[in-house]
Chain A
Amino acid sequence: MQSHSVYKVPQGKLLKINLEYDETTHRILHIRITGDFFAYPEEAMEHLEEQLKDTPLDRKKLLLQISSLISQYHIEFIGLNAEALTQGILLCVL
């Protein structure tokens, strides 16, 4: 199942998510995160997208995984944060 969301991060930038997920297992198959936010280092975003594959579309688990990847890859967001990213992804399946 493919889905798309557009989410204006409170006090932040515009986040757009293209999501492909398994309707049976409710897990991420493929994700592309786009928007006018800033993330340092930029290239880490590709790792984050890759590592989000197979993550369950459950708020708590998603937030935990995103937060752990942010610290693993030392990502610093401006205009975006882990909660907003979680929200943007979940908007695709609501």
Chain B
Amino acid sequence: MSEEWRLLQTGYAKAFTNMAVDKAILVSHSKGLVPPTVRFYGWVPPAISIGYFQSLVEEVDLKACQRYGVDCVRRITGGGAVFHDKELTYSLVIAESHPSIPKNILQSYGRICGAVMKGLEQLGINSEYAPINDIVTNCRKISGNAQTRKHQTVLQHGTVLMDVDVDTMFSLLKVPNEKIKDKLIADVKQRVTSIHHCLGKHIRFTQVADAMRRGFEEEFQIHLVEGGLTIEEQTFAEQFEKETFLTEKWNRKR
């Protein structure tokens, strides 16, 4: 019989809640309180997350975000700034020692991205892993991923782009050189794609989630059992949201 992992479908939430919940699962799993967990979620309102090492004020046009009603949050994972709008975000929390997780960090990115690729395949999209942390289809990015390891536990979260609005994204992010902004936007439009663009039709969030669920089950040869956050995870999440992700101290720490 295949191993059972937990599936959490937490729906749409604010950026601060989303990041707090991922951290809560990480802490809970590291204490042995919950099984390996796959989570699918979305962002309402749309939000920008920045990598742990990025500077909020250097990367994000905060006034524009305020005008558009877009929230901003710093992740506990490295990587770049992401505009989260029409996408499915997944997270996987699992012990570093789990036999399915390569010890080598880069290899573990590839392995976990394999689940997303199998999920995309369910939707009829062939893709490949593009190190360090992207998944591409026809040389265009459809998924970005970021991983941290804390308390002997791996947290990897990533986006699966359902649709993409590069113009809005660039009105929210700062570019190093305003003079070449138009060219940069044109370049990114060539380098990024989405499920909508690949298939020529809109796919619902739940359909993408079903496909990703099968992708994770196939890649890791496991059975995902739908569950909810434990009381302890909810308490952790509320605490992390309030004490970390909602605070200026955290979000402006760089």
Which A residues fall within an 8 A CB radius of B? 6, 12-14, 16, 32-42, 45, 76, 78-79
Residues of A within 8 A of B146 (CB): 38
A41 / chain B contacts, CB cutoff of 8 Å: 149-150
How many Å lie between the Cα of A49 and that of B169 in the bound state? Answer: 31
Partner of B54, one of A12, A36, A40, A79: A36
For residue B78, CB closer than 8 A to chain A, the reply is yes
Q: How far is the CA of A83 from the CA of B210 in the complex (A)?
A: 44
Greatest chain B CB density within 10 A among A6, A42, A45 is at A42
- Consensus secondary structure, chain B interface: loop
Cβ of B53 and Cβ of A45 under 8 Å apart?
Answer: yes
Q: Is the CB of B149 within 8 A of A40?
A: yes
A78 contacts B105, C-beta separation under 8 Å:
yes
Interface contact B53-A33, CB-CB below 8 Å: yes
Query: Which residue of B80, B105, B148, B176 contacts A36 across the interface (Cβ within 8 Å)?
Result: B80
CB contacts (< 8 Å) of B79 on chain A: these are 36, 38
Known interface pairs A39-B53, A78-B105; A34-B254 also in contact (CB < 8 Å): yes
Residues 60-96 of B contacting A (Cβ, < 8 Å): 76-81
Q: Which residues of B contact A (CB under 8 A)?
A: 51-55, 58, 76-81, 105-106, 132-133, 146-150, 176, 254
A-B contacts, 24 of them at CB < 8 A, read A13-B132, A16-B55, A33-B53, A34-B54, A34-B55, A34-B58, A35-B54, A36-B51, A36-B78, A36-B81, A37-B78, A38-B77, A38-B79, A38-B133, A39-B53, A39-B78, A40-B148, A41-B149, A42-B52, A42-B148, A78-B105, A78-B106, A78-B132, A79-B132
Residues of B within 8 A of A45 (CB): 53
Question: Which residue from chain B places its CB closest to the CB of A32 in the assembled complex?
Answer: B254
Query: Which residues of A sit under 8 angstroms from B132, Cβ to Cβ?
Result: 12-13, 38, 78-79
When the two chains form their complex, are residues B53 and A36 in contact, meaning their CB atoms are under 8 A apart?
yes
Residues of A within 8 A of B53 (CB): 33-37, 39, 42, 45
Q: Which residues of B contact A6 (CB under 8 A)?
A: 176
Q: Give the complex CA separation of A39 and B148 in angstroms.
A: 9
Q: Which residues of B contact A13 (CB under 8 A)?
A: 80, 132
**Bound complex: CA A36 to CA B80 (Å):** 4
Least Cβ distance of A30 to chain B in Å? Answer: 13
CB contacts (< 8 Å) of B54 on chain A: these are 34-36
Alpha-carbon gap, A34 to B146, bound state (A): 16
Cα separation A35 to B59 with both chains bound (whole Å): 9
Q: Nearest chain A CB to B153's CB is how many angstroms away?
A: 12
* Complex: chain B residue closest to A6, CB-CB: B176
